[in-house]
Amino acid sequence: MTAAENVCYTLINVPMDSEPPSEISLKNDLEKGDVKSKTEALKKVIIMILNGEKLPGLLMTIIRFVLPLQDHTIKKLLLVFWEIVPKTTPDGRLLHEMILVCDAYRKDLQHPNEFIRGSTLRFLCKLKEAELLEPLMPAIRACLEHRHSYVRRNAVLAIYTIYRNFEHLIPDAPELIHDFLVNEKDASCKRNAFMMLIHADQDRALDYLSTCIDQVQTFGDILQLVIVELIYKVCHANPSERARFIRCIYNLLQSSSPAVKYEAAGTLVTLSSAPTAIKAAAQCYIDLIIKESDNNVKLIVLDRLIELKEHPAHERVLQDLVMDILRVLSTPDLEVRKKTLQLALDLVSSRNVEELVIVLKKEVIKTNNVSEHEDTDKYRQLLVRTLHSCSVRFPDMAANVIPVLMEFLSDNNEAAAADVLEFVREAIQRFDNLRMLIVEKMLEVFHAIKSVKIYRGALWILGEYCSTKEDIQSVMTEIRRSLGE
């Protein structure tokens, strides 16, 4: 048994202001008390055993007076008790009393109540004593045919765990579960059965998948996730299988489950570097970002898009999706918008920069129609900086950007206005052909500037670049207009 499989007990704090119960009083409550008293006594026994007490004298008492009870709370507590109580002698042999317990397990596996059957099966997954499990195998097998899915799916888990730990107890488990999977209708049962085959007999899992690969889209999301996991695992180990299963992954991109779509897109990228595959995966990521309401999910998926961009062969494909990526700006979260703008800026090319600028100009105008908010101001700054970067990288766009941005020199948010001023100063220095346009727009908004710092910067630009007599007179007129006669 590995260290990870060892049972990890928990120390439970016991109040110091009360006397710990004695073994005699507990025995008395367990023997003669009513159901409520027995329940409380059993809880105390569990806590004491978890804290290191042995209490060997209570084992037979619990078997005689508590085990036969049909109360559901008692049965739940007993499952915890049987999990933690020592079941072997110091020399490693099974306690004789456990034979009686084993018979009780068998009765619970045949109980008419599906919860008791299912919870008992879950409990059996935790047992490490083959001697206890061996007499129960017929009853466990029979649970695969129970009418209730809760029992069947836990029966699959129990069979898988027993097969993994004690293969000799059920050597035909893969074949048994494969037959069960073929006839099963419940999604959770099929998922558990398929998961077992992946780990216990991968060839059978692939055989099953091959028979129903065209119906994968109709499966429940929990089974679809396991199928994606299997395809990734198989294709990673044996690349020649990619052609066999890649169509299935494409189909799962259309799943109704966001989790399945996310995993399928990630798997598709690892299986194929073809432009069509990268585009399909990227489009899937973009749709997820737009449709998911959780901002953390949006950021995680955005990171996957950014990772795709880092691959030179994929960047060209993503450049064609810049306009789709910009749809993410409809999200109000600032961090999502920031990452989206940076990604769009990294991907923009001369082919789509004009469309990008049009969208960003619309976004800038939208911020004027939104009630003032800290995030609105910060978003406006991000848009200004992005337009600034676009104009520097693509000078032909500067003439389209400048008129829109210069309106913000009169903005109440000094930080946004300062960003615009910095852009205007750089543009007027870089682009000689735009100086007249910039001076003209600056004169139009000069009187409306509210910030002293922005006013001072604008005045410097006008003083530096007004070269005609008419411009100089206009500047003096605007200064007098601002100061008053």
Quote the percentage of the chain above a pLDDT of 70: 94
Half-sphere exposure of 191 (CA within 13 A, CB side): 16
Q: Find out whether 270 and 236 touch, Cβ atoms under 8 Å.
A: yes
CATH (domain of 384)? 1.25.40
Q: Evaluate if residue 437 carries a pLDDT over 90.
A: no
The answer as to whether 365 is a domain residue is: yes
Burial of 305 (0-12, 13-18, 19+ CB in 10 A): buried
The answer as to whether 30 is a domain residue is: no
* Predicted confidence band of residue 225 (pLDDT cuts 50, 70, 90): very high
Q: What DSSP string describes 133-163?
A: HGGGHHHHHHGGG-SSHHHHHHHHHHHHHHH
Mean pLDDT of 313-329: 90
The answer as to whether 177 is a domain residue is: no
Quote the percentage of the chain above a pLDDT of 90: 37
CA 110-102-127 angle, 5° bins: 100
Give the domain range for residue 458: 356-485
More confident residue, 415 or 75: 75
Q: What is the pLDDT of residue 387?
A: 87
The average confidence (pLDDT) of the chain is 87
pLDDT digits (tens, 9 = 90+) for 325-348: 999 998 889 999 999 999 999 998
The answer as to whether 417 is a domain residue is: yes
The answer as to whether 275 is a domain residue is: no
Q: What is the pLDDT of residue 4?
A: 46
If you search the block for the tokens 């923009």, which residue do you land on? Answer: 348
The answer as to whether 462 is a domain residue is: yes
Q: Evaluate if residue 18 carries a pLDDT over 70.
A: no
The answer as to whether 372 is a domain residue is: yes
Task: Tell me if residue 328 falls in helix, strand or coil.
Answer: helix
Q: How many domains does the chain have?
A: 1
